[in-house]
Amino acid sequence: MPSLKYVRIEAKHDRLILITTNLEISTTKQLDGNDVQVQKEGVILVNHAVLINLMRAIKDYDVTCEIIEVMSEIKRFKIKLFNDGIDAEYFIETGDPEGYPELPTLASIEKEARVKFNLRGEDLFAMGNVLLSSITRDTTRPTLTGMLIEPEVIGNAKKNTQTTGIVMVATDGHRLALLTLTQHSAVTWTPSSKELHSNLCSRIIPGDVFEFLTARQVKDAIAYICIGDTRGILNLEESNLKYVFRLIEGNFPKCKSVIPDKKDQKQEVWWDTVNTLEVLTRTEIVVDNLSRQVTVTLYPEKKQVILEATETENRFSGYEVLQGGQNAIKTENSVPFKIAFNIHYFMQILKNVKPGTIESYHGTKDSPSLFFGDSGIEGINLMQLLMPIRMS
């Protein structure tokens, strides 16, 4: 669609509204107050790529913008710099506003809303960083390029059903992050009790939504998120910014079925995140670029954990001993336990929690390991899962 290469600019009531879209995602930015003085209302489409590059080049200047008619059916968008000592004008290609697609509004999405909630931008930003670390970039598995959002349900369909919050899950098949927003008063679920228990409320949010947040550092804003049947909207009122996105279609993997009960895990380790990351950073130097393997060996009787890495051709190797306290290692066995992880995934799990202590639970060398740590966000619990790799 040719009109998608344009930005739709509308001047109305001392406001300037800018809209861009690729039909999957659309962004609306509103400028008003002292930033804008509208002399004549109207709508125009302006070439997106040229406008963006020009705005970056003249961002420190005051400008005036107007539409000029070159011929009867040809218009150009004129930008004039009027700072002292500057005499410059730029003309940009325009398009026909009638050809721009009609986009869903906040009101239309709210009519079909399944869930609505408010979060501090700082919290949403932190959540996004954790979830983005676990999604895949493989577009042949589209459902895994997004995050599952579903209600945390208490009760059953025949009795009183309560929803105390939201569960958000991201996975790439090798690792998983599960965030639970507990006792969150700003969360509103609209479906019936039967729908809540039949997974009809589960939706998959594109990873691009959180990429959008992290790129703009919206930590000081209050974010309002509304998710309907096919669309969702992220509204940052303080920034006059709206982000409309199409939900990902398909079935998200039933991840909860592969999450083991931590009570059944035979090994438990308490890690000092700061110290362990320092050790892994040094160990990473000799990690093989193909396997990216770090081997973890638990010695219960000595209360020691050894992290070891070896390059494939044995040209480089290294290991370090982590001395644990009395309760650093708990195990049902007295024999050493060995397991291997992708070192980059392991490090990311440690980075996703607040500096301090993280607990890990391990079953066998081939079963998934669980990690629990402080998310650093009030009212949000974090569980991470990491699949081991075959030891070479």
pLDDT at 135: 92
Strand pairing partners for 339? 296
DSSP 220: T
Q: Residue 169 and residue 186: Cα distance in Å, rounded? A: 20
Q: What is the CATH number of domain 260-386?
A: 3.10.150.10
CA 38, 42, 43, 44 torsion: positive or negative?
A: negative
pLDDT at 42: 81
Q: Which stretch of DSSP H or E encloses residue 307?
A: strand 304-310
**Cβ neighbours of residue 91 closer than 8 Å, sequence gap 6 or more:** 68, 76, 77, 78, 79
* CA dihedral for 196, 200, 202, 208, sign (positive or negative): negative
What's the confidence (pLDDT) of residue 22?
A: 85
CA 313 to centroid of chain Cα atoms: 38
| 244-to-3, 101, 230 alpha-carbon distances in Å | 18, 14, 11
Boundaries of every domain in the chain: 2-99, 106-256, 260-386
For residues 74-84, one letter each, b for 16 or more C-beta atoms within 10 angstroms of the residue's C-beta and e for the rest, the string is ebbbbbeeeee
Q: What's the CATH fold of domain 2-99?
A: DNA Polymerase III; Chain A, domain 2 (3.10.150)
The pLDDT assigned to 45 comes to 86
Q: Is it true that 106-256 and 260-386 share their CATH fold?
A: yes
| pLDDT at residue 158, rounded to an integer | 46
Find, among 112, 116, 93, 117, the residue nearest to 6 by Cα: 93
Write down the pLDDT at residue 316.
Answer: 55
- Given this structure, which CATH class describes domain 106-256? alpha beta
Q: Is 129 helix (H, G, I), strand (E, B) or coil?
A: helix
- ∠ CA 225-227-229, nearest 5°, is 170
Check if the beta carbon of residue 220 is closer than 8 Å to that of residue 210.
Answer: no
pLDDT tens by residue, the chain, 392 residues: 677 888 888 888 888 888 888 888 888 888 876 767 777 788 888 888 888 887 777 766 666 666 555 444 556 777 776 666 666 777 777 887 888 888 887 788 888 777 888 877 778 878 888 999 999 988 889 999 999 988 776 544 445 545 557 889 999 999 999 998 875 545 666 655 555 555 557 889 998 888 777 666 566 677 888 888 888 888 877 677 888 888 999 889 888 788 989 888 888 899 989 888 988 888 888 777 777 889 998 888 787 888 888 765 555 556 667 665 555 777 777 788 999 999 999 999 999 999 998 999 999 999 999 999 998 887 788 999 999 998 76
